[in-house]
Amino acid sequence: MTPAIPLEDLFEDLIAKSMRGRHLSESELVETTGVPRDVLSRLCRGEFCDEAALVKVARALSLDPRSLTMAASKVWSPRPASVEGLEMFNLPYRDMRVNAYLVWDPATKAAAFFDTATDSIPLVQKARELGVSVESIFLTHTHNDHIAALDGLRDAFPGAKAYSNCAEPWPGTETFAEGAAFSIGSLRVKTRTTSGHSVGGTTYVVEGLSRPLAVVGDAIFAGSMGGGMVSFDDAWKNNREKILTLPDETVICPGHGPLTSVGEEKRNNPFFSAEFAS
């Protein structure tokens, strides 16, 4: 049995990302919340030492206190998702792991890769094992961990066209603007620019399988979001408006960590769950 993929971020990562995104130092957070500096430092190091203090920190950082407490307590993980026509690859990259995806039309066997991760060999082996015809390679963004195996995939499938967002073009790929549509056999692929983590980060919405898919790159993770390296505000807004407005049953395929769903993230992601609380 394949071991479960752990969450990409721990609760201290959520605190750190929100502090960076909102330009708050530990000193400023101490002043804002009244939490003693030693307690705040322990929370920032990942010690769940004081729930009341964590709630104050969550509110100051616009994180949902309930969901952040659940993250600190390690009581939540997304329900496993299995969709015919979707294969996930979780591969090592330095001191972390990164995801790539193979999506195919079960009726026609037309297929596409979404990102490449770091090693083309298991991706090529799985495509050949399934007997699918790889026609496309879609890049969510061009950070090295997501495109490292691109040349290997091109060599294995020379007829496949590679695509990147025109806001973040990559040599040898065809570029597209937001709203561009593609097909994988009878499956429909629509593009949404979800920049913030990168300048041309793209979410690919795939329709036609038993559940819709959203391949999001590093825009959003199970219980977290990307680092907002270009713009935290844009990253948050795009996640909120372009990913979490999809149907609840949509399977989110992130660049790191386990599969999740729109419904799960609306309920349990500390960056967003307060926005969707009934």
Domains annotated for the chain, with CATH where assigned, are 11-73 (1.10.260.40), 86-276 (3.60.15.10)
pTM for the predicted model, two decimal places? 0.97
Residues of the chain with pLDDT > 90, as a percent, come to: 96
Do 256 and 98 meet the contact criterion of CB atoms below 8 Å apart?
Answer: yes
Cα atoms found within 13 Å of the Cα of residue 210, Cβ hemisphere only: 7
pLDDT of residue 1: 41
Model pLDDT for residues 129-187, shown as the tens digit of each residue: 999 999 999 999 999 999 999 999 999 999 999 999 999 999 999 999 999 999 999 99
Euclidean distance between CA atoms 22 and 33, whole angstroms: 15
pLDDT of residue 142: 98
The neighbouring-strand residues paired with 204 are 191, 215
3-state secondary structure the chain: CCCCCCCCCCHHHHHHHHHHHCCCCHHHHHHHHCCCHHHHHHHHCCCCCCHHHHHHHHHHCCCCHHHHHHHHHCCCCCCCCCCCCEEEEEEEECCEEEEEEEEECCCCCEEEEECCCCCHHHHHHHHHHHCCEEEEEECCCCCHHHHCCHHHHHHHCCCCEEEEECCCCCCCCEEECCCCEEEECCEEEEEEECCCCCCCCEEEEEECCCCCEEEEECCEECCEECCCCCCHHHHHHHHHHHHCCCCCCCEEEECCCCCEEHHHHHHHCCCCHHHHCC
pLDDT of residue 278: 61
Mean pLDDT estimate for the chain: 97
pLDDT of residue 168: 98
pLDDT of residue 277: 80
Residues of the chain with pLDDT under 70: 1-3, 278
